[in-house]
Amino acid sequence: MSKNQLSEKDMLLDSIMTERYVSSVYDTGVMESVNEEVTKTLQHIQQEEQNHTKLFMEVMHNKGWYDVKASHINQAAKDQINKQMAFQLENRINQIGENNQQNNQ
């Protein structure tokens, strides 16, 4: 391998970082889009980018370059996430209800 060439591991890591960045750009586009068709298209493309990242990570894991055990979430963390999501959903529903009441007055 030439001194100026990246190793397979470095190329995969670079690809993962690039895909993560691209996915975050699509995320912004999805959140800011007001056109439903554009939103759906961006979501589809973003999912493809995330699938690419997953494939790169699987290759790295199979070669022993990426430990997926560290990415598993334990039950206590899942419970905390679910609790937080329920709290945020309840708050959002209450806000919508309050906005509807104000609009109807």
On whether the pTM is more than 0.85, the answer is no
Same domain, 27 and 56: yes
State how far the Cα of 53 lies from the Cα of 38, in Å rounded to an integer.
23
Checking if the pLDDT of 71 tops 80, the result is no
The confidence score (pLDDT) of residue 73 equals 66
Are 65 and 102 contained in the same domain? Answer: no
φ, ψ of residue 76 in degrees (nearest 5)? -65, -40
User: Are 67 and 101 within one domain?
Assistant: no
Q: What is the mean pLDDT of the chain?
A: 85
- pLDDT of 62 higher than 80: yes
Output the CA angle 72-77-82, nearest 5 degrees.
115
Domain count along the chain: 2
Model confidence at 99: pLDDT above 80: no
96 pLDDT tier (thresholds 50, 70, 90): confident
- Examine the domain organization and report whether 47 and 60 are in the same domain: yes
- For residue 45, the enclosing domain spans 7-71
| Segment 1-41, tens digit of pLDDT | 566 788 999 999 999 999 999 999 999 999 999 999 999 99
Tokens, residue 73: 């979430």
DSSP 4-41: TSPPHHHHHHHHHHHHHHHHHHHHHHHHH---HHHHHH
Residues 41 and 55 in one domain: yes
Identity at 25, one-letter amino acid code = V
